[in-house]
Amino acid sequence: MKAITGSSHEARGFALLVLVLLLSGGALAGGLFLSHRDPQLAHNRWLQEEAVLASLTEGFVRAVQTGLVIPDASDCWTAIAQVTGMNQTTMEWVNPAFPADPSNRRILLIDGVIAPGVLPYVQSAAGLSVAQSSLLKPRARAMFLSTTRRDLFLPVRGGETDPAAFDAIWNWAYDAAKPSSPSGWPAAWASQGATLHVSRISLHSLFAQVHLNQLRYGVGSGSFSGGTVAATEFVKDPTIVTLLKGSLLAICQTNGIPHQVRVVRRDAMFDLTTPSDPRQGTHGVGKDGPR
């Protein structure tokens, strides 16, 4: 998925989220789960739910980059609500008028290859530890699931699931000409692919690697105007720190003199080694890595 990179993109995404969630909780609520009997209504409902899940996914990424925490399946709604201002019930339930119906619930599914206990992940100044390194695997993934048929239950529960079962959904794609469900799903889901909605998140893409040498640094959250970070960590030798994109990073010389403060958006390198010969190059290199 593509991470949030600009304020105008965020504004469009969350304006859409507000619109579609208000619609799903209001004027369209009465016919929401009758849509499978009316092709045009079913198509409109499909488009609406796809937009909702896309906006929730964007909200998830924004929550991670703002709070520097990757939530688990039970905490994700609260995290998204904190950055979007949306009502949690409205986000969690396809039709908020039926908050007790389990078939009406959106869920977050997590690939079981992530080591147990890693989520929720709360970033420290040291960044990602060896014990948490499963979050950097290409298979470190999550996805939102929902169904727009109230009488059709998702055959998986939210949270971590078997990697094979996760793969079957991740690799599934909706085909209007042959609306089948993911491989291995129950017979009740035969030809019901049009009612299934999936929005995928690559968790490993939420991180950036920062190369550091001969400096002090600190990590926090916030913005240039409102964030304050103390450079308490000392780095004597070349070190790689893996941080969540969105982290506020302060870099100082080893004597504490400030060098740079920035928001981590991609891989970067900071080497404040003092050259023994002025002809060796510029003191205090700090640059972005590949985009």
Residue matched to tokens 């692919």: 193
Query: Alpha-carbon distance 109 to 124, whole Å?
Result: 25
Strand order in the sheet with 159-161: 159-161, 107-111, 141-147, 196-202
CB of 276 closer than 8 Å to CB of 260: no
pLDDT category of residue 223 using cuts at 50, 70 and 90? low
Q: Is the pLDDT of residue 282 over 60?
A: no
> Would you state the pLDDT for residue 171?
97
CB of 169 closer than 8 Å to CB of 189: no
The residue type found at 247 is S
**268-271/207-213 β-pairing:** parallel
Query: Alpha-carbon distance 39 to 53, whole Å?
Result: 21
pLDDT over 90 for what percent of the chain?
64
Omega before residue 120 within 30° of 0, cis: yes
Query: Alpha-carbon distance 28 to 86, whole Å?
Result: 18
> Would you state the pLDDT for residue 151?
87
CB of 291 closer than 8 Å to CB of 232: no
Token digits of residue 11: 């504004």
Among 30, 31, 244, 233, smallest CA distance to 120 is for 244
Please report which helix (H) or strand (E) contains residue 21, including its range.
helix 7-25
Residues in the chain: 291
Terminal alpha carbon distance of the chain: 15
What dihedral do alpha carbons 85, 88, 93, 98 form, nearest 10°? -120
pLDDT category of residue 229 using cuts at 50, 70 and 90? confident
pTM equals 0.82
pLDDT category of residue 28 using cuts at 50, 70 and 90? very low
Strand partners, 252: 216, 258
Segment 57-93, tens digit of pLDDT? 999 999 999 999 999 999 999 999 999 998 888 899 9
**Alpha carbon distances (Å) from 28 to 31, 47, 77, 231, 283:** 6, 13, 23, 52, 62
Among 178, 173, 242, smallest CA distance to 205 is for 242
CB of 204 closer than 8 Å to CB of 135: yes
Among 243, 240, 170, smallest CA distance to 206 is for 243
> Would you state the pLDDT for residue 99?
82
Q: What's the number of CA atoms in the CB half-sphere (13 Å) around residue 287?
A: 6
Q: Which residues contact 25 (CB under 8 A, 6 or more apart)?
A: 90, 95, 96, 97
